[in-house]
Chain A
Amino acid sequence: GENVEQHPSTLSVQEGDSAVIKCTYSDSASNYFPWYKQELGKGPQLIIDIRSNVGEKKDQRIAVTLNKTAKHFSLHITETQPEDSAVYFCAASRIYNQGGKLIFGQGTELSVKP
């Protein structure tokens, strides 16, 4: 069935360092890959997304890369700050005319130490 594997499960970095989270998906028909940030007591918040016709997308300190051939995609956070500390989820979906459900990875708990 559809599956998304996410690594690492925990990640600790020093403030100012970069953080990289990697995901692999199983459904080759997936064509939409969002990343969500979840803070304690809150719902997942979309931080960046990418479609399968794009290899890379950047938004300030956050970037996502996609390798369709290898079926994996990664989140890169540069110049990390303490407020980046949260749980990050990757997800994969098929976008078609009736919408698509998101299949989530298991999450990465990022800790940024001041």
Chain B
Amino acid sequence: DSGVTQTPKHLITATGQRVTLRCSPRSGDLSVYWYQQSLDQGLQFLIHYYNGEERAKGNILERFSAQQFPDLHSELNLSSLELGDSALYFCASSGPWQGRDVYNSPLHFGNGTRLTVT
């Protein structure tokens, strides 16, 4: 068990709908990363938050947004869903940065949310 909790485990919804995926990082971790895993695209980085602030964006669609709350849990919001959004969505967390150019602690992944858009 990585200590990263993602809910729900499965989500089935229709095209055009909006869903929210939730992630609770490991205790003490300040970073939350979101990844999308699909058969044809592999594991794609979406977005990174550190202690409530957005730090980096990857291949995240404008229809998608995320936030990290003061208690450090994070939510990924997916709207105007399309069939192609069906995928596994993973959250990962890592520990506090320990200073400039110092090794960043490893990413630990949750077990993901499987989203099916019909």
A-side residues, CB < 8 A to B, are 32, 34, 36, 41-46, 49, 51, 89, 95-107
Contacts and interface: CB of A to CB of B under 8 A. Distances in A.
Nearest to B55: A98
Nearest to A103: B45
A32 B56 CA distance: 17
A107 B107 CA distance: 17
Interface of B: 2, 4, 31, 33, 42-45, 48, 50, 55-56, 58, 90, 92, 94, 97, 99-104, 106-112
Given A98-B97, A101-B56, A44 B90 contact: yes
- Is the contact region of chain A dominated by helix, strand, or loop, or is it mixed? loop
A45 B55 contact: no
Contacts of A95: 101-104
Contact of B101 (A34, A96, A104, A105): A96
A45 B104 contact: no
Contact of A107 (B42, B104, B106, B109): B42
Nearest to A39: B111
Nearest to A51: B103
B108 A46 contact: yes
